[in-house]
Amino acid sequence: MTLKQIGEFGFIHKISRGCLVRPENVTVAIGDDAAAFSTVPDELTLVTTDLLIEKIHFSRNFTDGLDLGHKSLAVNLSDIAAMGGIPREAFVSIAVPENCELDYLEELYRGIKALAAAHNVNILGGDTTRAPKDLVINICVMGSVAPSDILTRDKAKNGDRIYCSGFLGHSRAGLHLLKNNQYKNNNLFQTLIDAHKRPTPQIGVGRFLAKYPDVKTAIDISDGLGADLSHICKASKLGARLYENSLPISDHLKEFCARFGFDPQEYALKGGEDYVLVFTIAPEKAKSLEDAYCQKFGVTPHLIGEIVATPGIEMTQPDGCTKPIESAGWDHFKVDA
Contact flag: residue 328 with a copy of itself (CB under 8 A)? no
CB atoms near residue 98 (< 10 Å): 8
Contact 139, 57 (CB under 8 A): no
Q: Which stretch binds a copy of itself (CB under 8 A): 180-188, 229-237, 296-304, 327-335?
A: 327-335
Distance, CA of 164 to CA of 309 (rounded, Å): 20
Distance, CA of 66 to CA of 333 (rounded, Å): 28
Q: Give the C-alpha distances (Å, rounded to integers) separating 105 from 51, 108, 110.
A: 17, 5, 8
- Report the residue from 59, 61, 101, 148 that binds a copy of itself according to the rule CB under 8 A: 101
- Report the residue from 258, 294, 299, 335 that binds a copy of itself according to the rule CB under 8 A: 335
Q: What is the CA radius of gyration of the chain?
A: 20
Toward a copy of itself, which CB reaches closer, 19 or 309?
19
> Strand pairing of 35-40 and 86-96?
unpaired
Alpha helices, DSSP H only, in 89-165?
Answer: 102-118
Toward a copy of itself, which CB reaches closer, 134 or 314?
134
Q: Give the C-alpha distances (Å, rounded to integers) separating 316 from 70, 173, 239, 320, 325.
A: 37, 25, 13, 6, 10
Instruction: Say which amino acid occupies 1.
Output: M
Which one-letter DSSP state was computed for residue 26?
Answer: E
Contact flag: residue 51 with a copy of itself (CB under 8 A)? yes
Toward a copy of itself, which CB reaches closer, 34 or 229?
34
Site map (CB under 8 A) of a copy of itself, residues 144-173, x = contact: x-----------------------------
Contact 159, 306 (CB under 8 A): yes
Toward a copy of itself, which CB reaches closer, 49 or 158?
49
- Report the residue from 45, 78, 165, 200 that binds a copy of itself according to the rule CB under 8 A: 45
Contact flag: residue 294 with a copy of itself (CB under 8 A)? no
Distance, CA of 274 to CA of 166 (rounded, Å): 8
Contact flag: residue 48 with a copy of itself (CB under 8 A)? yes
Toward a copy of itself, which CB reaches closer, 47 or 193?
47
Site map (CB under 8 A) of a copy of itself, residues 61-100, x = contact: ---------------------------xx-x-xxxx-x-x
Closest approach of Cβ 100 to a copy of itself, in Å? 7
Residues 118-147 within binding reach of a copy of itself (CB under 8 A): 120-134, 136, 138, 140, 142, 144
Toward a copy of itself, which CB reaches closer, 62 or 262?
62
Contact 267, 202 (CB under 8 A): no
Toward a copy of itself, which CB reaches closer, 41 or 318?
41
Closest approach of Cβ 33 to a copy of itself, in Å? 9
Q: Which stretch binds a copy of itself (CB under 8 A): 113-121, 160-168, 227-235, 255-263?
A: 113-121
# chain residues binding a copy of itself, by CB under 8 A = 77
Closest approach of Cβ 37 to a copy of itself, in Å? 7
Contact 195, 169 (CB under 8 A): no
Reported as type and span, the H/E element at residue 176 is helix 170-179
Residues 5-24 within binding reach of a copy of itself (CB under 8 A): 6, 8, 11-12, 14-15, 18-23
SS3 (DSSP) at 108: helix
CA-based nearest residue to 89, from 144, 133, 162: 144
